[in-house]
Amino acid sequence: MMPVYLSDAKFWRFLMDADEALAAQVRAAGCPHCAAVLHSARYPRKPRGVRRAVLGEDYGWRLSFCCAREGCRRRTTPASVRFLGRRVYLGALVVLISALSQGVTGRRRAQLRVLFGVSERTVRRWRVWWREVFPATRWWHAARARFVPPVDIAQLPASLLERFTAPEPGARLREALGFLAPISIAVHQAR
């Protein structure tokens, strides 16, 4: 039942490489507050849902930077395709499990939970987030205009995944995560 690409280290490495590219752009731009040089200030994360052996050791760190100028020293965290905000489960799993849990039987939903170690309560919380919180963000209000006809809010995130056209499901998920990357940082969370 588990999509085969979730057990493929190449899928997760692709997402890590995408995060590193986003981080390189942020670092090259310098501090957004004072334009000074940014130093690495990555911090530990304990991503859940996929074995560390598949992910690699890099997945234990969230890429982030700190301003080098004394008096500023503000943290700058780039957008991420691996993490969806502060959630402990990897973004790919939050999107995929939320989409797969729509309209499935209780038995199927239980299989998903066991497979990824996600509680029913967590999946319900994610579904509420997709239906109520996500559509109310400033970012979504601007980004939703890219889709004609409009994405069905009641069917998020499945209705969003359907809009990406890569031939393989893993590539579609990667495209969706790239699209959602801006919401991985706090500035885009509230409306």
Residue 65 has pLDDT above 50, yes or no: yes
Which residue carries 């590193």 as its tokens? 20
Q: What is the pLDDT of residue 190?
A: 39
Residue 108 has pLDDT above 90, yes or no: no
Q: Over the chain, what is the mean pLDDT?
A: 90
d(CA 181, CA 162): 17
Largest CA distance in the chain: 56
CA 59 to chain centre: 13
Q: What is the pLDDT of residue 17?
A: 97
Could you tell me which residues come within 8 angstroms of residue 53 by beta carbon, excluding any fewer than 6 positions away?
none
Q: Report the share of the chain in percent with pLDDT over 90.
A: 71
| 79, 91 Cβ separation under 8 angstroms | no
Q: What is the pLDDT of residue 7?
A: 86
pLDDT tens per residue across span 66-79: 999 999 999 999 99
User: Alpha helices of the chain — where are they, by DSSP H?
Assistant: 9-29, 52-55, 91-100, 106-116, 120-128, 138-143, 158-161, 169-180
Give pTM, 2 decimals.
Answer: 0.89
